[in-house]
Every structure is written in C-alpha cells, then in structure tokens.
C-alpha cells in the first residue's frame, strides 16, 4: 500500500519555521558566540599586530547579527564621542547603561558587540550607549578615559 502525504502550505498566520522566534534567536546567538570564540580569539594572539587585529575584527562585524526591528539603534555623538545608542521598546525613562566594548583599549568597536548590547538594554529596560572610544597606541592612556566618562 502507498503512503498518503499531505501538502501543507503555510499562510500568513502560520510560522514558517518549526522553531519559536526566541529559540531561533538563541541558536543564532550561540553560533555567533562559537564563531567569535574561534575567530576573534585567534585574531588577538600576541604575535598578531594591532593593525592586523583591527582589520580582522572589523571584517567580523558583518557576521554579527543586527538587533531585532523593534530595537531602535542610532549612531550618535554623545559628549563629543561617537556612539551607538540602543533603545528597546521597554526602556524606562531615566534608566541608562554605558557600555565600553572589549578589545583591551587597542581594538574593537560597538558594532562588534551589537549581539550583546541590545540584549543588555532589553533585559534592563534601559537605553544603552556603546561608545566608540579612541584606541591605543595612537591615543595612549588616559585618552579612552574621557571617552568613557
């Protein structure tokens, strides 16, 4: 006997993916984390020059997922420092986070951490400013301090 197969055509009310949206985001975040661990950690070994670290990290930015559409992400200058401002819909007035990206003050950018910053802002119910502070060695200590203060 033959098997009967049903053809299901999803309509606009059905979800096209078998996974819930939160689980899809979690899988994507885990893939980014694993990729970052493999690629970024290799790029920051002591034998890699600062210029090469920056080049590699900048190239990785395109692989970092954008925040969800409901999260407002704006490029701004805050106190004379370039920044990315992240505002989730649930942000409460007067609640703010200042985010200083990783990179040992010699490499990195807010864009490299956008997969985290929107989550921090949403979880805290606050707006977040991720500043793009000046990097060493071109701008030695304490150049980054005024940018973060």
For residue 94, the SS3 value is coil
CATH of the domain at 43: 3.40.50.1820
Q: Per-residue pLDDT tens for 112-143?
A: 899 899 999 999 999 999 999 988 888 887 76
Q: Is residue 88 part of a domain?
A: yes
> In which residue are the tokens 């606009």 written?
12
Q: Is residue 11 part of a domain?
A: no
Q: Is residue 136 part of a domain?
A: yes
Instruction: Please count the structural domains in the chain.
Output: 1
Neighbours of 31 (CB within 10 A): 12
* Sheet of strand 81-87: strand arrangement: 72-78, 81-87, 127-131, 96-100
Taking the C-alpha atoms of residue 53 and residue 140, their distance in angstroms, rounded to an integer, is 17
- The predicted pLDDT at position 3 comes to 46
Q: Is residue 14 part of a domain?
A: no
Q: Per-residue pLDDT tens for 47-60?
A: 888 898 889 888 88
- What integer is the mean pLDDT of 8-22? 51
Q: What is the extent of the structural domain holding 130? A: 21-148
- Whether residue 13 is predicted with pLDDT greater than 50 in this model: the reply is no
Q: Is residue 36 part of a domain?
A: yes
State how far the alpha carbon of 124 is from the alpha carbons of 86, 90, 113, 115, in Å: 12, 9, 17, 15
């Amino acid at each position: 006997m033959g098997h009967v197969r049903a053809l299901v055509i999803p309509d606009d009310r059905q979800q096209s993916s078998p996974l819930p949206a939160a689980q899809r985001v979690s899988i994507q975040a885990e893939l980014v984390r694993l990729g970052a661990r493999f690629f970024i950690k290799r790029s920051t070994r002591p034998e890699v020059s600062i210029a090469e670290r920056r080049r590699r990290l900048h190239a990785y930015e395109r692989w970092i997922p954008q925040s969800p559409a409901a999260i407002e992400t704006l490029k701004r200058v805050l106190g004379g420092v370039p920044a990315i401002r992240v505002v989730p819909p649930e942000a409460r007035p007067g609640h703010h986070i200042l985010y200083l990206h990783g990179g040992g003050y010699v490499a990195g950018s807010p864009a490299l951490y956008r997969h985290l910053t929107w989550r921090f802002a949403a979880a805290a119910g606050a707006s977040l400013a991720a500043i793009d502070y000046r990097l060493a060695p071109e701008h030695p200590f304490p150049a980054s301090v005024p940018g973060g203060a």
